[in-house]
Amino acid sequence: MSIKSEIDKRKTFAIISHPDAGKTTLTEKLLLFGGAIQTAGAVKNNKIKKTATSDFMEIEKQRGISVATSVMGFEYKNKLINLLDTPGHKDFAEDTYRTLTAVDSVILVIDCVKGVETQTERLMEVCRMRDTPVIVFINKLDLEGQDPFDLLDELEEKLQINVRPMTWPIGIGATFKGVYNLIDHNVNLFESSKTKISDDYISIDNLNDNRIDELLGGEATQLREDVELIDGVYDPMEQEAYLSGKLAPVFFGSAVNNFGIQEMLHQFIELAPTPKGRITDQGEIDPALDKFSGFVFKIHANIDPNHRDRIAFLRVCSGKFERNKFYKHVRQNKKIKFSNPTSFMAKDKSLIEDAYPGDVIGLYDTGNFKIGDTLTEGDNFTFQGIPSFSPEIFKEVINDDPLKSKQLEKGIHQLTEEGVAQLFTARMGNKKYIGTVGELQFEVIQYRLKHEYNASCSFHPMNFYKACWFTSENEEMLEEFKRLKSNYIVLDKDNNLVFLAQTAGVLQITRDNYPDIEFHFTSEFKRQSTLVQ
């Protein structure tokens, strides 16, 4: 089978949302509808606490949140779907941002009660940076939420994107009776606490059909008025506008009740893009090229704590990946082959012989990979757009058990290479500083150090405002800056120099005093400068 035909079969997307919008529940239900799992494991009430398939780290089970990106694959209507479930918590936003570089589209989950929340807006900004196509799923229609038209207005206003309803709720909360499919013109009536897939669609060719009144009673008139208003206010669904990131199809439902999902999944496989090209320092790489290429967007140690494995998650971008074939590690300029590449179904892994553009595969790693690394079939280019951002919180690592120094060193090194946090090391002595986006990351680091590396540490807060990578063509000024600011200059995990500014005022004064030095708030410049060499 040709590479082009394999590409046409694939859809690779991420599910994103504000915490508690129902993202991981929706992930699980898509797997249920795709036949990848047989029973739903969502939390139905406080007495039943089954863990969602995609949350496999112990701390995720305890806290009820996703703190690591999970990768799952399933087949639906002859399409191979690669689904990436991302952390919803804002403290782990950087992991989500990196994941968005590895997908071709997203499903954005909105809580109908809370509407568009802060984290949702930030995630949408990242999608807009790459014109990523977005489908919106408005969740929890079985609860007393906001008016659907108000939600659509809020989506357009806060997310700066046009919307087009594809399904429409009949009632909401206590009066929620189901959804009307605006594309296929059928009604799906709601039953609470479903555990199996329902195909009880009632085809209605004409909303003036008397059966609508028999089925919906007083809600029938409201549905007719709503549909007439939708057709009058909203533009028709245009796939090109969706693919360019300008128009978001909107679906309504209740993920916990398996309701409204199948309608979205049917349209998703019709609308969502097949694997697209990716930008490198040598231009865009066409996925249909014969030669293999891909990049690492995530590293995870100890997916299986019993085996202490370390896996690099690689997005295949072009050509065909083959097991036991040598590929070039561009940064290290050496050839590597992989005898046990894997595909994923959450924590369950299976050996694969080959993979194609759009696929996400796991490569067992002994320490060769860093986030952003490129593998090719011999070509010397590197994929762009996978930066680290300046952290917001900085703390010094304090070793609580000097007898376990080696374990702590190894654990900190591996966890920061995964992207859980950023590591900065003082040039003099061996002080280490951890930089994160939020406080929860420190809790995760402590937990994982204890349970995966048998090491313990505490954190001492540091008064820093920003981490700034810096470059300059003025060697004399650069040397003076490094000498006078030596107490505030550290090394990142790649041994790049980083200036830790104490306050916004200090940073501004420093920039004024050293006009020929350029300060960078992301690490993206590193890849550009490295690749020119």
Do 265 and 305 fall within a single domain?
A: no
pLDDT at 346 over 90: no
Looking at 271, 289, 322, the residue that finishes a domain is 271
What torsion, rounded to 10 degrees, do the Cα atoms 286, 363, 92, 161 define? 20
Q: What six digits make up the tokens of 341?
A: 């590449």
Do 140 and 267 fall within a single domain?
A: yes
Looking at 343, 376, 409, the residue that finishes a domain is 376
Q: How far apart are CA 214 and CA 217, in angstroms?
A: 6
Secondary structure of 401-464 in HEC code, one letter for each residue: CHHHHHHHHHHHHHHHHHCCCEEEEECCCCCEEEEECCCHHHHHHHHHHHHHHCCCEEEEEECC
User: Tell me, what CATH number does 292's domain have?
Assistant: 3.40.50.300
Q: CB-based burial of residue 495 (10 Å sphere; 0-12 exposed, 13-18 middle, 19+ buried)?
A: exposed
Q: What is the mean pLDDT of residues 374-386?
A: 90
Helix or strand or coil: residue 268? helix
pLDDT at 485 over 70: yes
Tell me what pLDDT residue 233 has.
92
Helix or strand or coil: residue 153? helix
Do 79 and 168 fall within a single domain?
A: yes
Looking at 376, 407, 422, the residue that finishes a domain is 376
In a domain, 386, yes or no: no
Do 322 and 238 fall within a single domain?
A: no
Q: How far apart are CA 131 and CA 450, in angstroms?
A: 41
More confident residue, 522 or 526: 522
In a domain, 381, yes or no: no
In a domain, 44, yes or no: yes
How many domains in the chain?
3
In a domain, 384, yes or no: no
pLDDT at 52 over 80: no
Max avg pLDDT among 19-33, 185-199, 230-244? 230-244
Residues facing residue 71 across a β-bridge: 84
In a domain, 332, yes or no: yes
Do 171 and 54 fall within a single domain?
A: yes
Do 368 and 407 fall within a single domain?
A: no
Point out the least confidently predicted range of 83-97, 292-306, 368-382, 430-444.
83-97
Q: Render the burial of 472-487: b for 16+ CB within 10 Å, e for the rest.
A: beeeeebeebeeebee
Confidence category of residue 95, pLDDT binned at 50, 70, 90: confident
User: Tell me, what CATH number does 448's domain have?
Assistant: 3.30.70.3280
Which residues, 6+ apart, have CB-to-CB distance to 73 below 8 Å? Answer: 36, 80, 81, 82, 83, 343, 344, 345, 359, 360
Q: How far apart are CA 166 and CA 266, in angstroms?
A: 11
Tell me what pLDDT residue 301 has.
67
Is there a contact between 509 and 462 (Cβ–Cβ < 8 Å)? Answer: no
Q: What is the mean pLDDT of the chain?
A: 85
Q: How far apart are CA 32 and CA 258, in angstroms?
A: 9
For residue 60, give its domain range.
3-271
Do 42 and 170 fall within a single domain?
A: yes
In a domain, 459, yes or no: yes
Do 326 and 416 fall within a single domain?
A: no
pLDDT at 284 over 70: yes
E strands within 289-333?
293-301, 310-318, 321-322, 327-329
In a domain, 387, yes or no: no
Is there a contact between 362 and 72 (Cβ–Cβ < 8 Å)? Answer: no
Do 317 and 364 fall within a single domain?
A: yes
In a domain, 220, yes or no: yes
Do 110 and 52 fall within a single domain?
A: yes
Point out the least confidently predicted range of 94-98, 149-153, 197-201, 329-333.
197-201
pLDDT at 333 over 90: yes
Max avg pLDDT among 16-25, 140-149, 416-425? 140-149
Do 478 and 405 fall within a single domain?
A: yes
Do 109 and 204 fall within a single domain?
A: yes
Q: How far apart are CA 430 and CA 428, in angstroms?
A: 7
